Chain A
Amino acid sequence: GAGVSQSPRYKVAKRGQDVALRCDPISGHVSLFWYQQALGQGPEFLTYFQNEAQLDKSGLPSDRFFAERPEGSVSTLKIQRTQQEDSAVYLCASSFSREETQYFGPGTRLLVL
């Protein structure tokens, strides 16, 4: 795989359900970022990992949002007790190091009913 992959591509959840979104970064990329993109808006930063360490989670909108990257590769963004305002596209990006350009995956479109 040459690029960042994300799964699922689409997710429909009932309000109150928990969801887990997966990101597979480019092999060898140390840095991994999650962004939230609401309809008609630009992406907004959620959180940043360097290897397995979560160095910045200042953008997570509430304590219902949780991200992990236990082995420094694949990352999962978990949203507990989903609300309608969580409906958005969730984008993952990775870079070789913190000094390098971020490359984005196709995103997961989450719809909470």
Chain B
Amino acid sequence: AQSVTQPDIHITVSEGASLELRCNYSYGATPYLFWYVQSPGQGLQLLLKYFSGDTLVQGIKGFEAEFKRSQSSFNLRKPSVHWSDAAEYFCAVGTAQGGADGLTFGKGTHLIIQP
């Protein structure tokens, strides 16, 4: 069975600073990887996804993520954060393209933005 680890429960970043959120996965075959963001009282919004091809994936809101098979990682990055980026971030792995078998999520990283 697949699993996802997000090692950082909370991260605090100053507005304008760069951001990296870590995600490690465990899955025996090629994974399909996702990052979602959840604001308070809101559903999950897809930031970006990796299915195949280029290992550096661009997403919405200026986010990007890099798939590193050798490290079983899919870290999320943003060069300069904005106060509106404060939210909960979830990494997820799917076993079929699009996750038809149901996505497996990490426990999330809570991002706090300092002014």
- A residues near B (Cβ < 8 Å) are 4, 31, 33, 35, 40-45, 48, 56, 59, 91, 93, 95, 97-107
Contacts and interface: CB of A to CB of B under 8 A. Distances in A.
* Dominant secondary structure of chain B at its interface with chain A: loop
Contacts of B101: 48, 56
Interface in B13-57: 34, 36, 41-46, 49
Interface stretch (B61-69, B71-79, B92-100): B92-100
A57 to B, nearest CB: 10
Contacts, number: 67
13 contacts: A4-B43, A42-B4, A42-B90, A42-B108, A43-B105, A45-B104, A48-B101, A48-B102, A99-B96, A100-B97, A102-B98, A106-B42, A107-B43
Interface of B: 4, 34, 36, 41-46, 49, 90, 92, 96-108
